[in-house]
């Protein structure tokens, strides 16, 4: 059976909050791109970032080993992604993967949280 | 390869909270329609709004340039969208785009947040 | 062009929190099934509810007029849906509609919120 | 008509918060995999868990009876799933089911909540 997932995904609402409350590292405002590679071959993954007012950035490259997941904090990408600036992201992989996008926003004393499936295509 | 996305998307749960807590502009209760155009051609986009008790409004028109994203606050549309009133939205574009829908609700002291993929079709 | 959506949708995580904080009606813990009918024909919609420990309930019937949306609070269905009990829901319509599922949980002093696309199929 | 759903689903962002605030059991930080079986045959379901730094765990097995839903707390799986460690999950069933993934995070005094459709495929 074909490994579950798709080779291309997109996230339209990226945004790194600019400040935080609470203990590090768990409660730092952050976003993560969560990638599952349930197949038998390592996945070479590229992230391209799109902005409102400037050219795209990337590709950022990472490997998701076979039968593993990587929960990549966007805050940890190098070169860094600007905070308090909307962005979007296209994720491409050379084998099928599954992508979910999560934000923890602790700008106020109690954290807010969302997660959503990325858009396959 | 075809640019990622679809030419038509829908959001069924639109709602602009009527009040807010916290510093502007980040913590004002709002919704955004977040559109990614990862393709090589500018996208002409139309939003139609649907209500429970009145005829549809729109189309609201905007352009998402090639290789860019637009995070459009619904609160900033003109003519304005009523607050504290449920609505839904159909987004159409002349090239493939990706659409995600987000609400920040700061009616209480600590903000709540959700985001979800829109429905392609 | 075919109206956007599908004739059948499902929600797997239904749950009505059993208590609330904050002003009524906005801040009462609730769930809503949000249905968009962007087509030219009224939609006759049926909701079937599924539980862990008892037979299904329903169908609950409602009409979503042409070019309108209905944001139906699950709390307002008759006969009432039990609180503090997991359920799931299948939504069927005689014309294409779009369905999104939202929960506002105000059991603690600050509300939590999620919304997600239902599963078409 | 074929029962609604798919035989395989994936969740890419699993994470069990390591601490909690508020009354048990409702406000304990937890995740649930919510499975609807709206068809006429019991569903035999298997969960495989994937990690960043170790081999997969499972399969965890459960049955979702015909015309029922099961809201399985990940915290209650046996052997237990580690807290404060990212994971992903593939859900397979022998008949079509619908899967939704929810996290309640009460590490801070007010709970945060998300829910999202799993990825079919």
- The predicted structure's pLDDT at residue D109: 61
CATH 2.60.290.11 fits domain D6-120:
yes
For residues A117 and A98, what is the distance between their CA atoms, to the nearest angstrom?
Answer: 9
Average pLDDT, whole number, for chain A? 91
Write the pLDDT tens digit of every residue in C66-118: 999 999 999 999 999 999 999 999 999 999 999 999 988 777 666 678 888 89
Give ∠ CA D105-A26-A30 in degrees, rounded to 5: 95
Cross-chain CB nearest to B110 (options D110, D114, D116): D110
Q: Is residue D75 classed as helix, strand or coil in its secondary structure?
A: helix
Average pLDDT over residues C9-20: 87
Q: What is the pTM of this model?
A: 0.93
What are the Cα distances from residue C34, in Å, to A85, B2, B25, C99, D70? 30, 32, 28, 6, 23
Q: How many CB atoms lie within 10 A of CB A50?
A: 26
Q: Which residue positions in chain A have pLDDT lower than 70?
A: 108-111
List the structure tokens of C70.
């209905």
Cβ pair D114:B116 closer than 8 A = no
List the structure tokens of C78.
């008759």
Cross-chain CB nearest to C67 (options B11, B56, B121): B56
- The predicted structure's pLDDT at residue A34: 96
Choice between C18 and A54, residue whose per-residue pLDDT is larger? A54
Classify burial at C45, counting beta carbons within 10 Å of its beta carbon; exposed 0-12, middle 13-18, buried 19 or more. Answer: buried
Whether D13 contacts chain B with CB within 8 A? no
- The predicted structure's pLDDT at residue C113: 82
Q: How many CB atoms lie within 10 A of CB D98?
A: 31
> What is the predicted ipTM?
0.91
Write the pLDDT tens digit of every residue in C33-44: 999 999 999 999
For residues B24 and D2, what is the distance between their CA atoms, to the nearest angstrom?
Answer: 50
Spans of all domains in chain B? 6-120
The closest alpha carbon to B115, from C102, D105, D31, belongs to C102
Write the pLDDT tens digit of every residue in D8-48: 999 999 998 877 777 777 777 889 999 999 999 999 999 99
For residues B90 and C112, what is the distance between their CA atoms, to the nearest angstrom?
Answer: 26
- The predicted structure's pLDDT at residue B110: 60
Strands C57-64 and C119-120: unpaired
Which band of pLDDT confidence, cut at 50, 70 and 90, is reported for residue C22? Answer: confident
- The predicted structure's pLDDT at residue C30: 86
CB of B96 closer than 8 Å to CB of B4: yes
Strand boundaries in C1-121, DSSP class E: 6-14, 30-37, 43-51, 57-64, 68-73, 87-105, 112-117, 119-120
- The predicted structure's pLDDT at residue D2: 84
One pLDDT digit (tens) per residue for chain B, 121 residues: 789 999 999 999 999 887 777 777 777 788 999 999 999 999 999 999 999 999 999 999 999 999 999 999 999 999 999 999 999 999 999 999 999 999 887 776 666 788 888 999 9
List the structure tokens of C110.
């600050």
For residues A95 and A9, what is the distance between their CA atoms, to the nearest angstrom?
Answer: 12
- The predicted structure's pLDDT at residue B26: 74
Which residues in chain B are contacts of D116 at CB distance < 8 A? 116
């Amino acid at each position: 059976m074909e490994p579950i997932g798709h080779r291309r995904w997109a996230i339209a609402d990226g945004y790194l909050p600019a400040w935080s409350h609470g203990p590090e590292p768990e409660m730092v405002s952050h976003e993560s791109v969560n990638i599952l590679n349930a197949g038998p071959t390592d996945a070479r993954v590229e992230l391209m970032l799109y902005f409102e007012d400037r050219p795209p950035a990337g590709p950022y490259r990472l490997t998701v080993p076979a039968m593993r997941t990587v929960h990549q904090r966007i805050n940890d990408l190098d070169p860094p992604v600007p905070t308090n600036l909307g962005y979007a992201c296209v994720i491409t992989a050379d084998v099928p993967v599954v992508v979910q996008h999560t934000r923890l926003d602790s700008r106020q004393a109690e954290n807010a949280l969302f997660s959503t499936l990325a858009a396959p295509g």
